[in-house]
Amino acid sequence: MKNIILKEDKGIAEITINRPKSLNALNSETLKELGTVIEDISQRKDIQAVIITGSGDKAFVAGADIVEMQNLNAVQGRELAMLAQKVFSDIEHMPQVVIAAVNGYALGGGCELSMACDIRLASKNAKFGQPEVGLGITPGFAGTQRLPRLVGKGTAKELIFTTDMIDAEEAHRIQLANKVYEQEELMDKAREMAKKIMSKGIYAVSLAKSAINNGMNMDTESAYSYEADIFGLCFSTEDQKEGMKAFIEKRKPNFKGC
Ligand code: CO8
């Protein structure tokens, strides 16, 4: 792969978007590579958590690639949006937990990529924003949908309409960033959180992810019913038996992820 670095260590896959000269801007080649990596990892039982970050210390992803986008026609623009939406949706629905380690600018498509992840950890120098209307376009990688779901409709409209860039503390205040760390400790904190999650019943974590993500797209009664189905399913797993047995025996559970 040309624009993606993939590292694996003890069940954690670290994906680095690697186009530092363009502040890791997403062109279609990078999106396709990211899509292939995500598809591959989704099938793997030995990978239980994913961390996505950007190369260098300046940017997570500074958006879709403006150089590539400038001469697109309407059909090509739609195709690019559909490509990114598919990749981001695959990230949102992959069985593994996905943490965005936002290590600098997360603008436009970069902010949208971070929002497709389950959890966003930001470094103190991170900056979030949706600058699209300043370029004469709208967010197209599902930012108009994921941002209001995360921060509320009013704040999402303010950010999208004004194109204001916000720092990590403000992103934390509006619940766009889960936590904020010094840049040097960001990746270690992301790994630490991944390991903590992996120490739980990881199959249950995956089911909880599905209940949250799919339930949010249903009416409330259907979502409650879906949660009950998922909850019931847990009782067919070895982890449920082990988790409860360990509690009663006052010991740490030895989960198997099944
Ligand atoms: N695309 C392409 N190249 C970029 C991008 C980008 N998004 N961002 C930065 N670069 C390039 C710069 O052109 C520059 O290249 P060069 O050295 O060859 O001139 C290099 O990266 C370094 O950037 P700067 O010199 O500008 O660095 P600064 O520190 O001065 O500024 C900023 C950093 C503030 C991040 C600035 O680069 C910037 O404003 N970048 C653009 C941010 C932006 O507008 N992003 C949104 C893009 S639109 C988008 O994401 C839409 C998604 C939906 C699309 C729908 C599909 C059709």
Q: Which atom, in ligand 1's list, is nearest to the CA of 76?
A: 57
Q: Check: CB of residue 120 under 8 Å from CB of residue 53.
A: no
The pLDDT assigned to 99 comes to 99
Q: What architecture is the 4-198 domain classified under in CATH?
A: Alpha-Beta Complex (3.90)
157 CA → ligand 1 middle, Å: 22
Q: Check: CB of residue 200 under 8 Å from CB of residue 208.
A: no
Domain with CATH 1.10.12.10 in the chain: 202-248
The per-residue pLDDT for range 61-116, each reduced to its tens digit, is: 999 999 999 999 999 999 999 999 999 999 999 999 999 999 999 999 999 999 99
Q: How many CA atoms lie within 13 A of 36 on its CB side?
A: 11
Residue 133 phi, psi (nearest 5)? -65, -20
Rounded distance between C-alpha atoms, residue 131 and residue 138, angstroms:
9
Topology classification of domain 202-248: Lyase 2-enoyl-coa Hydratase; Chain  A, domain 2 (1.10.12)
What pTM does this model have?
0.97
Rounded distance between C-alpha atoms, residue 96 and residue 61, angstroms:
22
Distance between the two ends of the chain, CA-based, in angstroms? 32
Q: Check: CB of residue 88 under 8 Å from CB of residue 142.
A: yes
175 CA → ligand 1 middle, Å: 25
Percent of the chain with pLDDT over 90: 100
Q: Which of 14, 33, 132, 227 is catalytic?
A: 132
